[in-house]
Amino acid sequence: MSGNLKFLNLVLLNGKPEEKLRAARAAGFDQVEIWREDVEKSADGGALAQLAAQQGLGFTNVQVLRDFTGAPDGERQKKREELRQFIQMAQALGCDTIQAPATTREDCVAEKIDEDLRWLASEAARYQMRIMYEPMAWCSVDNTLPLAWERLQRLEQPNIGLVVDLFHICALGGDASQLDGIPVDRIYEVQLCDIAQPLPPGDRSALIDTARHRRELPGEGIIEIDRFVDKLKSAGYSGPVGIEVFNDQLKALPAQQAADKAWAVLNRYWP
């Protein structure tokens, strides 16, 4: 049996945040990825933390600090205040990790990205927080795992690590070879999902639409899930692994039914 903590991204489930937590734990998950919107709907992060603790459920991370890096000068201070809000939210939940993907802004100030990431790491470290840096297929910079890893290697910030999301790798035609050369301790989590068919990599709107509405559970599409799993296991990856599937049809199901489906398929690929 795997020693990796297994999580569910709550984006798969409908209902109130409390109902989502109960469904995820009842299905068998150790942790959840929780969204800022879920915390705000609950109106009390402390109560969510208490409920999770009562069930023995942890928080993999709080999502999502968008477009932090390379923000134009007029917005940089606003983004830094937003980080502080995320830190407070994470602390209320008893969570030590915040997800901050690479920027999607076309007007990003590329020469400021390294500086912003260093500041982000330093500020997070003051509160014993970690940052998950995610390359997304439609990011304006660092839209692939190798590009994101190249930047993190250069910056040498010990509390920033990578998110391995199979959608963003495979949507641009990548495969498991993109994991080569990345130390497993710099991978903070692995998100499994699938896609029904190849996507046009140059069509940003199609990438975003599929990513947010029509991902599939692992095994229901064309991604060679086993290749990623074999490579990660062979390298000794011991971090969290879970399901991140945005799917409108699955989300329409009762939360417990959707959570049970996700748990079953996760254990098929990562027993």
pLDDT in tens, 149-161: 999 999 999 999 9
Percent of the chain with pLDDT over 90: 96
The DSSP output letter for 259 is: H
- Residue 42 has a pLDDT of 85
Domain with residue 117: its CATH number is 3.20.20.150
Q: Using an 8 Å Cβ cutoff, are 159 and 170 in contact?
A: no
Domain-embedded: residue 22: yes
Domain-embedded: residue 36: yes
CA distance 254 to 26: 13
Mean of the pLDDT values across residues 9-21? 97
Please provide the average confidence, as pLDDT, over all residues in the chain.
96
CA distance 149 to 85: 27
Domain-embedded: residue 1: no
Where do the H-state alpha helices sit in 43-180? 45-55, 73-93, 113-125, 145-155, 166-170
CA distance 240 to 192: 11
CA distance 14 to 19: 8
Domain-embedded: residue 219: yes
Mean of the pLDDT values across residues 133-145? 97
Domain-embedded: residue 168: yes
Q: Which residues contact 77 (CB under 8 A, 6 or more apart)?
A: none
User: What are 67's two structure tokens?
Assistant: 């477009």
Q: Read off the pLDDT band of 1 (50, 70, 90).
A: low
Record the pTM. Answer: 0.97
- Residue 253 has a pLDDT of 98
Give the total number of structural domains in the chain.
1
- Residue 216 has a pLDDT of 98
Q: Using an 8 Å Cβ cutoff, are 87 and 127 in contact?
A: yes
User: What are 147's two structure tokens?
Assistant: 């590009």
Please tell me whether the peptide bond between 190 and the residue prior to it is cis, using omega within 30 degrees of 0: no
Predicted confidence (pLDDT) per residue in 144-197, tens digit:
999 999 999 999 999 999 999 999 999 999 999 999 999 999 999 999 999 999
Predicted confidence (pLDDT) per residue in 84-94, tens digit:
999 999 999 99
Q: Using an 8 Å Cβ cutoff, are 186 and 159 in contact?
A: no
Does the pLDDT value for residue 79 go beyond 90? yes
Domain-embedded: residue 60: yes
Print the domain residue range for 185.
6-269
Q: Using an 8 Å Cβ cutoff, are 157 and 117 in contact?
A: yes
